[in-house]
């Protein structure tokens, strides 16, 4: 079943420069997709469109069969529960003046999700491998990897069906990175995951499918293993050639 | 920010020292100001003793050239200074924070227009604006001075708010708040204001001092209210002719002004450091 369908979407921040050019892409329910491309290729921009933060200039995005329309308040409320995001920079993604508990509870409060919020926050903390009782502390009391876990807890607390991770492990050191990738791999069993990364090694370890973006165009897409074993597009070939073999081995070992 | 995450005990002690010094200085002025509503040593407008008497048990700070008790006038000055400072900062903060947030959220051309307007307004000296407004109103009225100062300060507050809010708006936690379903007013209330507040409040304290000094300058220039509502600036002005024979009339208002301005700034610094979670020890 298709959860998200991106259909011939184009977008530019200004009228004279296209950032995304005729992008089409399907995300099946439960799938894990790696979105790979150079810096500036439009990965974050595509995520912003998928989150309904910006509208495409042309083309359409549907979520669960319904058009993703940022102006439709009723739709957006149910949509926000179902699509969540984790960012690259663990230092910018948590409000320094809020306790961990109120950071993670924000989606529960704002989306008026019923239930015992304190318990839901505790469960989310546990699910990302943190103690239940860290909720009273502030972000500056945690390491980068722990902060990323907190950001993931906030993303999963409303029970999303789609998790977008924008280079969520790029800012972390190697061992922490592997732990967070493991965590995401576990989560991906219960939700669709769109995982943005420059790191093809991590994508190979985590994602069933891969989408290669070059200058706002999807140049190649398919099964991760077969695309990596037999890249068709010259851009993919160049991208693979520039990856040191080392990182592939490290992550899969 | 990075050094603040590891607040050492010594650093903490310094913070609480600052806070206490501020509390004592400001508390003293507030206590005196409140006292003036119920009790004054003498009638501030009446001759209470001889002219230009030195300090004595009856007149702790002596008397002025009309024989009025100086301590009485100084006490009323505390009340006036606090009203001026609080009033001007409240007006400046209300207008300035609103405009600054609007500019931060506005479309590019509106933001540019607002920013340019603010820069022009700020280029005019606060005192000059206040002088024009007060001179234009026919009676030397404390409230016209407060409103004029408040408006002048609002431009500075607006510019600062705009810059601070823009810096917060690009943070990922704002995007996260949006994808969490929080509305913009809610984002302003729970993310933007708390994050710009520490810097703003320290700036408000600075503005408080500026407002009190500006009002004193207005009064010194003869644009202030006469006794019984005289400010320290007015006391200073009245004392300037006799500064060699009775120097206390000039020294006392100066000390009072400086102690209040410094006290408010210490208090704001201390409060920020105590309240701010990122500056607290682990
Ligand atoms: N708010 C914006 N206004 C104007 N241009 C923007 C904006 N955000 C991004 N761009 C431009 O859009 C292009 C794509 O940016 P985007 O952030 O989507 O790239 P990316 O693939 O996520 O890159 P990175 O790997 O560095 O994160 C870049 O050329 C960037 O300069
Ligand atoms: Mg990006």
User: Does the B12-35+70-275 domain belong in CATH 2.115.10.20?
Assistant: no
Provide the 3-class DSSP secondary structure of residue B244: coil
pLDDT band at residue B107 under the 50/70/90 scheme: confident
- Residue B79 in tokens: 């009340």
- Which residue has better confidence, B64 or B95? B95
pLDDT band at residue A253 under the 50/70/90 scheme: very low
**For chain B, domain boundaries:** 12-35+70-275
The answer to whether residue B108 neighbours chain A at the CB level (below 8 Å) is: no
Question: What pLDDT score does B271 carry?
Answer: 87
The mean per-residue pLDDT over the stretch A200-225 comes to 93
pLDDT in tens, A63-115: 999 999 999 999 999 999 999 999 999 999 999 999 999 999 999 999 999 99
Question: What pLDDT score does B100 carry?
Answer: 95
- Which residue has better confidence, B50 or A24? A24
Q: Minimal CA–CA distance to B170: which of B195, B189, B204? A: B195
Question: What pLDDT score does B2 carry?
Answer: 42
Q: How many CB atoms lie within 10 A of CB B177?
A: 24
d(C-alpha A177, C-alpha A169), whole Å? 5
DSSP B279: G
Question: What pLDDT score does A93 carry?
Answer: 96
**For chain A, domain boundaries:** 2-97+161-242
Cβ atoms of residues A31 and A5 within 8 Å: no
Cβ atoms of residues A193 and A165 within 8 Å: yes
CA of A42 to the centre of ligand 1 (A): 6
The owner of tokens 């004595």 is B56
CA of B102 to the centre of ligand 1 (A): 26
Q: Which ligand is nearest to the CA of A19?
A: 1
Any ligand 1 atom below 6 A from CB of A39: yes
User: How far from each other are the two terminal CA atoms of chain B, in whole angstroms?
Assistant: 14
d(C-alpha B59, C-alpha B72), whole Å? 9
CA torsion A43-A49-A53-A54 (nearest 10°) is 110
Q: Minimal CA–CA distance to A220: which of A200, A208, A234? A: A234
pLDDT in tens, B140-149: 578 888 998 9
Inter-chain CB proximity B173 and A111 less than 8 Å: no
DSSP A139: G
Out of A44, A54, A211, A215, mutate this one to test ligand 1's pocket (max ligand atoms within 8 Å of CB): namely: A44
Q: Minimal CA–CA distance to A184: which of A209, A211, A152? A: A152
* H helix intervals, A211-252: 224-229, 234-241, 245-252
Inter-chain CB proximity B175 and A110 less than 8 Å: no
Any ligand 1 atom below 6 A from CB of A43: yes
Q: Which atom of ligand 1 is nearest to the CA of A13?
A: 4
CA angle B199, B204, B205 (to 5 degrees): 100
Q: Which residues of B91-102 are buried (b: 16+ CB within 10 A; e: fewer)?
A: bbbebbbebbbb
Cβ atoms of residues B126 and B149 within 8 Å: yes
Residue B121, classified by CB atoms within 10 Å of its CB into exposed (0-12), middle (13-18) or buried (19+), is: middle
d(C-alpha A32, C-alpha A225), whole Å? 13
Contact list in B for residue A97 (CB cut-off 8 A) is 194-195, 276-278
The mean per-residue pLDDT over the stretch A189-194 comes to 96
Provide the 3-class DSSP secondary structure of residue A161: coil
* H helix intervals, A112-143: 117-127
Compute the mean pLDDT over every residue in chain B, rounded to the nearest whole number.
89
Residue ID of nearest Cα to ligand 1 atom 28: A40
State yes or no: pLDDT of B130 exceeds 90: no
d(C-alpha B4, C-alpha A73), whole Å? 41
Inter-chain CB proximity A97 and B183 less than 8 Å: no
Any ligand 1 atom below 6 A from CB of A16: no
The owner of tokens 């900062």 is B89
Residues in contact with A92: Cβ distance below 8 Å, sequence separation at least 6, in sequence order: B171, B172, B173
State yes or no: pLDDT of A195 exceeds 60: yes
- Which among B183, B195, B282 has the least Cβ separation from residue A97? B195
Residue in B closest to A138 by C-alpha: B277
The mean per-residue pLDDT over the stretch B132-138 comes to 76
pLDDT band at residue A1 under the 50/70/90 scheme: confident
State yes or no: pLDDT of A169 exceeds 50: yes
Question: What pLDDT score does B282 carry?
Answer: 42
DSSP A23: E
- ipTM value, please give it: 0.92
Q: How many CB atoms lie within 10 A of CB B109?
A: 8
Strand A83-86 vs strand A192-197: parallel, antiparallel, or unpaired?
unpaired
pLDDT in tens, B111-125: 889 889 888 888 888
The answer to whether residue B274 neighbours chain A at the CB level (below 8 Å) is: no
Question: What pLDDT score does B1 carry?
Answer: 39
d(CA B206, nearest CA chain A) in Å: 23
Assign a CATH topology to domain A2-97+161-242: Rossmann fold (3.40.50)
Contact list in B for residue A136 (CB cut-off 8 A) is none
Residue in B closest to A95 by C-alpha: B173
State yes or no: pLDDT of A133 exceeds 60: yes
State yes or no: pLDDT of B239 exceeds 80: yes
d(C-alpha B70, C-alpha A195), whole Å? 75
CA of A149 to the centre of ligand 1 (A): 25
The mean per-residue pLDDT over the stretch B252-267 comes to 95
CA of A220 to the centre of ligand 2 (A): 19
Compute the mean pLDDT over every residue in chain A, rounded to the nearest whole number.
92
Q: Which of residues 132-171 of B touch A (CB under 8 A)?
A: 171
């Amino acid at each position: 079943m298709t959860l998200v369908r991106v259909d011939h979407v184009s977008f530019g921040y200004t009228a004279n420069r296209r950032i995304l050019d005729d992008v089409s892409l399907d995300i099946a329910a439960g799938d894990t997709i790696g979105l790979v491309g150079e810096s500036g290729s439009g990965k974050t921009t595509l995520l912003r469109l998928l989150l309904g933060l910006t509208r495409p200039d042309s083309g359409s995005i549907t979520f669960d069969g319904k058009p993703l329309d940022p102006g439709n308040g009723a739709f957006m409320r149910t949509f926000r529960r179902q699509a969540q995001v984790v960012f690259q920079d663990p230092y910018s993604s948590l409000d320094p003046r809020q306790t961990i508990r109120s950071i993670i509870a924000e989606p529960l409060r704002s989306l008026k999700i019923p239930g015992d919020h304190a318990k839901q926050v505790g469960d989310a903390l546990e699910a990302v491998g943190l103690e239940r009782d860290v909720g009273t502390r502030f972000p500056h009391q945690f390491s980068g990897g722990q902060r990323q876990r907190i950001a993931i807890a906030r993303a999963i607390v409303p029970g999303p069906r789609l998790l977008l991770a924008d280079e969520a492990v790029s800012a972390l050191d190697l061992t922490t990175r592997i732990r967070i990738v493991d965590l995401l791999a576990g989560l991906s069993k219960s939700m669709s995951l769109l995982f943005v990364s420059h790191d093809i090694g991590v994508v190979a370890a985590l994602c069933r499918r891969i989408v290669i973006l070059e200058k706002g165009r999807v140049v190649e897409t398919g099964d991760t293993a077969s695309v990596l074993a037999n890249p068709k597009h010259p851009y993919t070939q160049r991208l693979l050639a520039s990856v040191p073999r080392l990182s592939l081995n490290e992550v899969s070992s | 920010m990075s050094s603040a995450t590891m607040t050492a005990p010594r650093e903490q002690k310094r913070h609480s020292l600052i806070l206490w010094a501020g509390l004592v200085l400001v508390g003293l002025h507030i206590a005196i100001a409140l006292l003036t509503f119920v009790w004054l040593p003498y009638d501030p407008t009446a001759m209470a003793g001889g002219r230009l008497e030195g300090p004595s048990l009856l007149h702790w700070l002596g008397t002025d050239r009309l024989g009025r008790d100086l301590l009485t006038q100084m006490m009323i000055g505390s009340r006036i200074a606090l009203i001026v400072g609080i009033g001007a900062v409240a007006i400046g903060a209300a207008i300035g924070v609103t405009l600054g947030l609007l500019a931060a959220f506005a479309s590019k051309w509106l933001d540019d227009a607002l920013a340019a307007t603010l820069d022009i307004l700020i280029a005019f000296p606060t005192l000059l604006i206040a002088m024009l407004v007060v001179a234009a109103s026919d009676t030397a009225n404390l409230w016209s001075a407060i409103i004029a100062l408040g408006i002048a300060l609002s431009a500075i507050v607006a510019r600062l708010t705009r810059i601070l809010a823009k810096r917060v708006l690009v943070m990922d936690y704002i995007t996260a708040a949006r994808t969490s379903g929080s509305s913009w007013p809610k984002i302003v209330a729970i993310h933007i204001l708390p994050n710009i507040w520490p810097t703003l409040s320290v700036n408000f304290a600075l503005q408080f001092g500026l407002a009190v000094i500006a009002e004193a300058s207005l009064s010194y220039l003869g644009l202030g209210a006469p006794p019984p509502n005289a400010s320290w600036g007015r006391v200073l002005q009245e004392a300037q002719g006799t500064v060699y024979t009775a120097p206390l009339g000039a020294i006392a208002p100066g000390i009072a002004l400086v102690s209040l301005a410094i006290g408010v700034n210490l208090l704001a610094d201390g409060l920020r450091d105590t309240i701010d979670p990122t500056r607290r020890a682990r």
